[in-house]
Amino acid sequence: MSIRGQAYIAGIYEHPTREAKDKSAAELHVESARGALADAGLGLKDIDGYFYAGDGPGALSLANHMGLRLKHLDTTDCGGSSYILHVGHAAEAIAAGKCRVALITLAGRPRSDPSFGATMRAQNAAAPEYAFEAPYAPATANMYALAAMRHMHEFGTTSEQLAWVKVAASHHAQWNPNAVLKEVVSVADVLGSPIIASPLHRLDCCVISDGGGAIIVAAPEIANALKRPRVRIRGAGEATKHQLGGRIDLTFSAARWSGPAAFAEAGVTPADMKYASIYDSFTITVVMQLEDLGFCAKGAGGRFVADGNLISGQGRLPFNTDGGGLCNNHPSNRGGLTKVIEAVRQLRGEAHPKVQVKNCDLAVASGIGGSLATRHTSATVILERV
């Protein structure tokens, strides 16, 4: 069963909070849900499907708190890619008649909550690989740095090329009043920032923020009746990549499989895309995904992103025009939902005028959840303005 044209994104909302000292995760979830519903022109009573990825008090508690009467519930949790994956899952559920209006919410307080890191470590300790990996003290930055180092070794990718990803994000973030980092940076600024895990510098890494957001996915007959620009879901793909008993190639991500699946279902190609929302936990994450999605050949990602090629109004492929995770926000260490939100803004023509892509009718949102060097998921969606 294809989801092509079977569902629309009817509402979006990005919570403006970046440091939520006075709000709980539940409040952020509920405020985000209400914001997306208001954007769509719908109410809580219209929701019959709920998609939630474990970044708060729990799906049942939130559904109860919001008074939702649900026919369908999906709690798939794949880290940062969960919310892009949820868009595809919601479209599938609507196409199968399981629900008609789906709500996806994200919220978290990693910046304000001192227990956030300890909670994550406790969850990881229950994993079967923990006893084998923990003695070597792997950390998120280390694992992405490992993939970056291998990419450099195999293809000659340079730190200067990676820095251009941050430079592009900063050019966009300067127009976002809610962005954590609004200052435009240069390649020299990135290379001059402290090394976090060689070869990644501090400015190669995403920000840490509180916040959240929500997305409303609706059946065609509902979306058509709303007084909002229509954004159709044309295709989706998801995939996993893991260690395979040590037989692993660190130079590619699971987007190698999720991307082609999404493009095939949508009946379009990377060359048709006017805008790209690419998960940017680190600069290397963007470079590898662009290669794996088919925007350039494997190993050519460094050259592709260099010299401002990702800057809106200047480069060939505008990306993350809200500033992305590198500059805008990365709520609950899960940035996939905001990638979909900015793609919808671009397709509606509602992005900031300084970064709005002209005649933007097709966009891709793609994300990674987990670690490039060990195990992760990838989710990709193709969206269209109609």
pLDDT tens-digit series, residues 167-204: 999 999 999 999 999 999 999 999 999 999 999 999 99
* Strand partners of residue 72: 49
pLDDT of residue 120: 64
Residue 248 pLDDT: 87
**From CA 116, how far away is CA 111, in angstroms rounded?**
8
Q: Locate the domains of the chain by residue range.
A: 8-115+211-232, 138-209+234-385
Token readout for 146 is 């490992």
- Please check the confidence at residue 32 and state whether its pLDDT lies above 80: yes
Question: How many Å apart are CA 188 and CA 186, to the nearest integer?
Answer: 5
The mean pLDDT value for 210-232 works out to 96
Q: Measured between alpha carbons, how far apart are the two ends of the chain, in Å?
A: 22
Res. 335 pLDDT band, cuts 50 70 90 = confident
- pLDDT at 80 exceeding the cut of 70: yes
Residues 6+ apart with CB under 8 A from 177: none
Residues 314-318: what's their mean pLDDT? Answer: 97
Q: How confident is the model at residue 132, as a pLDDT?
A: 85
Residue 118 — very low, low, confident or very high, per pLDDT cuts 50/70/90?
A: low
Positive or negative torsion for Cα 18, 110, 202, 275: negative
Residues whose CB is less than 8 angstroms from the CB of residue 5 and which lie 6 or more positions away in sequence, other chains included: 220, 232, 233, 234
The mean pLDDT value for 76-84 works out to: 95
Considering the chain, what percentage of its residues have pLDDT values greater than 90? 88
- Report, as an integer, the average pLDDT of 18-43: 96
**pLDDT for residue 130 is more than 90:** no
Mean local confidence (pLDDT), 139-163? 97
Q: Are 296 and 290 in contact (CB under 8 A)?
A: yes
Mean pLDDT computed over every residue of the chain: 95
Does the pLDDT value for residue 157 go beyond 80?
yes
Residue in this structure with the two tokens 């992305």, named with its chain if needed = 324
In this model, does residue 285 exceed pLDDT 90? yes
Q: What percent of the chain has pLDDT over 70?
A: 98
Residue 320, φ and ψ in degrees, nearest 5: 40, 60
Please check the confidence at residue 5 and state whether its pLDDT lies above 80: yes
Q: Is the separation of the CB atoms in 174 and 182 below 8 Å? A: yes
According to CATH, what is the number of the domain 8-115+211-232? 3.40.47.10
Measured N-to-C along each axis, helices 159-173 and 283-293 cross at an angle, to the nearest 10 degrees, of: 100
Taken in order 136, 139, 142, 147, the sign of the CA dihedral is: positive
Identify the pLDDT of residue 117. Answer: 64
The CA–CA distances, whole Å, from 240 to 78, 220, 255, 325 equal: 10, 30, 9, 22
- Name the residue with higher pLDDT: 296 or 138: 296
- pTM for this predicted structure: 0.96
Domains 8-115+211-232 and 138-209+234-385 share a fold: yes
- Report domain 138-209+234-385's class: alpha beta
Helical (H) or strand (E) element with 382: strand 376-385
The answer to whether the CB of 66 falls within 8 A of the CB of 33 is yes
Q: What number is the average pLDDT over the span 230-235?
A: 98
pLDDT for residue 269 is more than 90: yes
Reduce the DSSP state of residue 362 to 3 states and report it. Answer: strand
Could you tell me where the DSSP H helices lie in 125-229? 130-133, 140-155, 159-173, 187-192, 220-225
Pairing of strands 49-51, 101-108: parallel
Mean pLDDT across 362-384? 96
